[in-house]
Amino acid sequence: MNTLLQAKDLEKAYGALKVLRGVSIDIEKGSFVAIVGPSGAGKSTLLHLLGSLDKADKGSLSINGQSIEQLSAGRQAAFRNKHIGFVFQSHHLLPEFTALENAAMPLWIGGMDKKKAEEEAAKVLQTVGLGQRMDHKPAALSGGEQQRVAIARAIIQKPEIIFADEPTGNLDTHTASEINQIFLDLVNRYGITLVIVTHNEALAEMAHRIFVMKDGRIEEERKGNFHQQEAT
């Protein structure tokens, strides 16, 4: 596999608090990476830096050969909308819009015709098993259904990479297992690169590679069970 993302010596502090202390990580195209560790280890901060949602104090980041720190803020936003998808613990759906409209939002922002965007959104919602609930607004959807909409929104631009921060943190065990399977299918069927911060051990073990963080550093890297699952 080819390297899609390369981060080197990332450092981040908030005032006197050093959150990241020189983190380097390479992520291959089509791989599933889990980042785990105790609360306060720097996992979410690292994810935000890798997704260019925040800027490192030191270090470098490139995605698909593009040096992110060399882009202006506007060009970074355009790059994210086209190449990166995000899924968070809180779904961040717009309450006044339907599932279909929420999923279509990145395409509208990118300038696509409304009708065509909604046609694409309908296809993606079918992919995540929400074809029968497209006209419902978030308040009428369960937590698991809302997360499916968030995943549909994240993948609608066919991004090279998706970053997910505790995507099953607010879900019960059964629903979390269903969402885990959707993530696995995204990698298996669609070749999407997936980077997940999680406390969910079952989800982490599904990955190709597991990075264990502690005190702002990557303390350990180990293999997950991804290939075993492919073979079953």
The string over 93-110, giving b where at least 16 C-beta atoms fall within 10 Å of a residue's C-beta and e elsewhere, is beeeebbbbbbbbbbeee
Over pLDDT 90: what percentage of the chain?
68
pLDDT in tens, 168-198: 888 888 888 888 889 888 898 888 999 999 9
| DSSP reduced 3-state for 79 | helix
Q: Is 132 exposed, middle or buried (0-12, 13-18, 19+ CB in 10 A)?
A: exposed
Question: Domains in the chain, start-ordered, CATH in brackets?
Answer: 30-44+71-231 (3.40.50.300)
pTM over 0.85: yes
Do the Cβ atoms of 213 and 53 come closer than 8 Å? no
Do the Cβ atoms of 169 and 180 come closer than 8 Å? no
Residue 209 has pLDDT above 70, yes or no: yes
pLDDT in tens, 2-13: 999 999 999 999
What pLDDT does 37 receive? 94
What pLDDT does 95 receive? 94
Q: pLDDT grade, residue 227 (50/70/90)?
A: low
